[in-house]
Amino acid sequence: MTRTYKGRKTQAEKDNDEAVDNARAFANSIRGQFISSQALTVAARAIDNPGLRMIEREPSNAADMLYLRDSIFPLYSVIQDARDRHASVTAKRTAT
């Protein structure tokens, strides 16, 4: 990290700090939580794909992704579960 006169930050460093702060704020927002949850869900599914070479699969990574999703970022799976339940109820109603 380069510093200018007397340890003050350069404009580029200030801009980077602001970008990091904005990214953290987004990650903590509902939208950021949803995106993180979705990314973990989709990535874990992709890693479990038997078509991938074993070196790419890393099953322990998939398990860790699901752990993070379930522990910290559950939003996507909660919405998916609700959609699945809704579709099931709707299908039962139309069948009767």
Instruction: Give pLDDT tens digits along the chain (96 positions).
Output: 555 567 788 888 889 999 999 999 999 999 999 999 999 999 888 888 777 776 667 778 889 999 999 999 999 999 999 999 999 988 888 887
Check residue 10 and give its pLDDT: 86
Looking at the domain assignment, is residue 42 inside a domain? Answer: yes
Q: What's the CA gap between 45 and 61, in Å, rounded?
A: 11
H runs (alpha helix) in the chain? 11-28, 30-47, 54-57, 59-71, 75-95
Angle at 62 between CA 58 and CA 63, to 5 degrees: 115
pTM: 0.70
Number of domains in the chain: 1
Looking at the domain assignment, is residue 2 inside a domain? Answer: no
Looking at the domain assignment, is residue 4 inside a domain? Answer: no
Looking at the domain assignment, is residue 64 inside a domain? Answer: yes
Q: What's the CA gap between 55 and 83, in Å, rounded?
A: 34
- Tell me which residue range forms the domain holding 57: 9-95
Neighbouring CB atoms inside 10 A of 32's CB total: 16
Looking at the domain assignment, is residue 3 inside a domain? Answer: no
Looking at the domain assignment, is residue 32 inside a domain? Answer: yes
